[in-house]
Each structure stands twice: as structure tokens, then as C-alpha cells.
């Protein structure tokens, strides 16, 4: 049996900054959310791969709430680190901020959690090193990840048992802006 390997959270930390160009804007003149999501996926990959020392794939993305729009000409900085490890999976926390270069004003634009899975050269899941938590922020982030995992499990459990065709469920649908029109 092999010895368990441990790594510090700091071995996963990655920061990227990119100037937002006119080519990144959407139809309303703000930076396109899809472009930001692409950058977030790239930094999640970098953090997870750096930590695990292997190729990683995105398994899921937690809620991404766009808190503040990003303007053309702003400098976007993303910070990521592994917050939690399972057997082959890692939860990478990402924080996105934008800075108006002229005024120096910094805005928190969004935060999210990407679940990444380590793969070997044949595409099979492989074990990742265990995590060393070295300060209060790292412990807080780890605990938040545990809460997210438990919430997902609870949600999945309820989703599998909910009968949306029951008379009670159909009755509750009347509280929404819909009309049932079965043919």
C-alpha cells in the first residue's frame, strides 16, 4: 500500500488577469458572461491540474451569479485554489474581480465553485493528494465546500423522490405563471 500524499492549498493557487477588449462584449456593451465562464473554466483546470499534477476535467459548475457587470477596458483578475479534495475530485473556488484601470475601483463580479476530476493518461479517474489546511481562510473554504456537497446530496435525494405528476404537485403548479393544457 502506498503512502498517503498531502499537499498544501498554496500549491494550487493560480491568479490570472486579462484586459477586457471590445471583442469580448455582448449586445448590451458589457463583457459576455460566456467569455467569463470560459476563463473561469481555464483557471479551474489550471488550479486542479497544478494541485494534482495530472490532467483534469470539469465535472460540474456550482451556481454562478453575475453580481456586477464588467466593462470593456477593465482588467479582470481571477483567483482560484483547491478548497476541497475527495478521492479523485477537487472543488476549486474562483473569485472574479474587475478593476477600472483609470480610477482604480475594484468590483467583485462573481464567485463560483468548479468540481474537477483528475484523470490518468487513459482517461480513468485517479487519486489526488489529500489537503493540508494551513489557516482560517482555508478551513472556512473547506467547510463551505463540505456544506455545498451535503446540500447537493440532499437536493439529489429529494429530486429523485418527487412525483411531479401527482395530483398534489399539479395543484401546486397553479401558484405559478403557467397554464396546464394537456391534449
pTM of the model: 0.88
Interval 118-167: pLDDT, tens: 999 999 999 999 999 999 999 999 999 999 999 988 888 777 677 878 88
Tell which CATH architecture fits domain 6-132. Answer: Roll (3.10)
**Mean pLDDT across the chain, nearest whole number?**
94
Report the distance separating Cα 156 and Cα 113, nearest Å.
18
Report the distance separating Cα 58 and Cα 118, nearest Å.
9
25, HSE (Cβ side, Cα atoms, 13 Å): 10
Q: Provide the pLDDT confidence category of residue 36 given band limits of 50, 70 and 90.
A: very high
pLDDT at site 167: 85
Identify which of 42, 50, 48, 35 has the alpha carbon closest to the alpha carbon of residue 16. Answer: 42
Identify which of 80, 116, 120 has the alpha carbon closest to the alpha carbon of residue 97. Answer: 80
Greater model confidence, 29 or 182: 29
User: What residues have CB less than 8 Å from 146, skipping those under 6 apart?
Assistant: 84
Give me the residue spans of the domains in the chain: 6-132
Report the distance separating Cα 76 and Cα 38, nearest Å.
13
pLDDT at site 158: 74
User: What residues have CB less than 8 Å from 92, skipping those under 6 apart?
Assistant: 12, 43, 44, 47, 48, 80, 81, 82, 83, 113, 114, 115, 116
DSSP conformation class of 178: -
User: What residues have CB less than 8 Å from 51, skipping those under 6 apart?
Assistant: 7, 11, 12, 82, 85, 90, 128, 129
Amino acid at each position: 500500500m502506498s503512502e498517503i500524499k498531502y499537499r498544501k492549498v498554496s500549491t494550487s493557487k493560480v491568479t490570472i488577469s486579462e484586459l477586457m477588449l471590445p471583442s469580448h462584449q455582448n449586445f448590451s456593451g458589457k463583457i459576455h458572461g460566456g467569455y467569463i465562464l470560459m476563463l473561469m473554466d481555464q483557471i479551474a483546470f489550471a488550479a486542479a491540474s497544478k494541485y494534482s499534477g495530472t490532467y483534469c476535467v470539469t465535472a460540474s459548475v456550482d451556481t454562478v451569479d453575475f453580481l456586477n457587470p464588467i466593462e470593456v477596458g477593465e482588467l479582470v483578475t481571477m483567483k482560484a485554489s483547491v478548497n476541497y479534495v475527495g478521492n479523485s475530485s477537487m472543488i476549486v473556488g474562483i473569485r472574479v474581480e474587475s478593476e477600472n484601470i483609470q480610477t482604480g475601483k475594484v468590483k467583485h463580479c462573481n464567485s463560483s465553485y468548479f468540481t474537477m476530476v483528475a484523470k490518468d493518461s487513459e482517461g480513468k479517474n485517479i487519486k489526488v493528494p489529500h489537503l493540508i489546511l494551513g489557516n482560517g481562510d482555508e478551513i472556512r473554504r473547506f467547510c463551505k465546500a463540505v456544506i455545498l456537497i451535503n446540500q447537493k446530496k440532499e437536493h439529489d435525494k429529494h429530486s429523485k423522490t418527487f412525483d411531479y405528476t401527482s395530483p398534489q404537485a399539479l395543484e401546486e403548479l397553479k401558484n405559478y405563471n403557467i397554464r396546464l393544457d394537456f391534449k
